[in-house]
Structure 1
């Protein structure tokens, strides 16, 4: 009988240990899922906000207003506080399809390098690209594209 009691006690201790481990795993999984939901919501909001930031920056280029500049600076700080980083790019950098989007091809420089920036790009602090940098890339424009541009300049193409 003492042996049966010890076995029963041991079985209950094992069940309790399993239940505690299951509970611990549940808490960890719920916490991770909550973080993922918050990240998805934040990412969606930031993606919707970036075109507004672009518009405000274009407006500031024309207005040159100190108050507007301070508001833009504050907005940029809020984005950084939430893990959003601007992707740095310079003319002459090598084109990288992982962080750049070719918006136009232009003649004149070393093929495959960046000729100019058309729109800023952003990424999360973990490196995930939110929006690639839209750039002009040096390279050979297709013959058809050159012909269309010439026709547009002459007014022959409608």
Structure 2
């Protein structure tokens, strides 16, 4: 039976009948035909997933869902991306040799228009290459300048760290030196007492040993803080470390040698806490010169005798 349908209407065939209330085809209706035309091939083998039916008319019309359109758009986007990704490779890797070959062909064919066009393109590529070369040179110089600046900053920071450590040590020595300098009179008193006290009984010796043990303990504490005594007797006089309060002729030491120490001097680090008070030799005395003259006289007599 011929049925008037819209162009493109579909025929239901050989699939399970659905509820009549939902308006789907029955297995009994095997085909639909176009009015005035031949029957349409059965669509039983086709899948209707992703298809909905429009009830706006008595006849059923398949409408594709938006998923099909979305899938098509995605495929088109991927094709465009492939084209975009291929263009740089073609421009950077193939265009220049291709242009050279085309220029050779144009020169061989004596095609002036093509030659002019190709020469302009090659000139543009050459200018771009020169520009990139200059950019590379500029960046290389900037990198070298940055390296040199980094090295200078690193050296400056190292020098600053050393200066800071030296200043820190100097400040620490100054603070400790001020405290220790105020305690030095006590050291002098211990040394004077040791030189003046003469112990006679066993009890006095015990008391003296007790005081001396305290003195030794105090000296050890000073050494642990970096305090060092100035060397005096037998050493050359140093105005930076010694304070000469006397000069005396000596037959034992040469001129400028320290003969005796009256008060100890101390230094901490490079700071002088106080100079040592000393007596300095003024050179050989008259007695030594006279003794040398007496020794020389017999030698002259012996020489005279031998001469006779």
Matched, 1:69 2:201: no
CA distance in 2, matches of 1:112, 1:7: 69
Residue 144 of structure 1 corresponds to none
Question: What is the SS of the residue equivalent to 2:225?
Answer: helix
Residue 201 of structure 2 corresponds to none
Residue 55 of structure 1 corresponds to 185
What is the TM-score normalised by the length of structure 1?
Answer: 0.63
* 1:22-57 Cα shifts (integer Å, max 9, x gaps): 221221121122023123313422442443342231
CA contact (8 A) 1:122 1:132 kept: yes
Question: What is the SS of the residue equivalent to 2:232?
Answer: coil
What is the TM-score normalised by the length of structure 2?
Answer: 0.36
Question: What is the SS of the residue equivalent to 1:65?
Answer: helix
Match of 1:101 among 243, 264, 269: 243
Residue 137 of structure 1 corresponds to 280
CA distance in 2, matches of 1:89, 1:112: 12
CA distance in 1, matches of 2:264, 2:180: 9
Kindly report which structure 2 residues correspond to 1:32-43, keeping only aligned pairs within 5 A, or say none.
32-43=162-173
> What number of residue pairs does the alignment pair up?
133
Matched, 1:118 2:259: no
- Greater relative contact order structure (CA < 8 Å, 6+ sep): 1
TM-fit CA distance, 1:70: 4.8
Unaligned 5+ residue runs, structure 1? Answer: 140-158
CA distance in 1, matches of 2:228, 2:219: 13
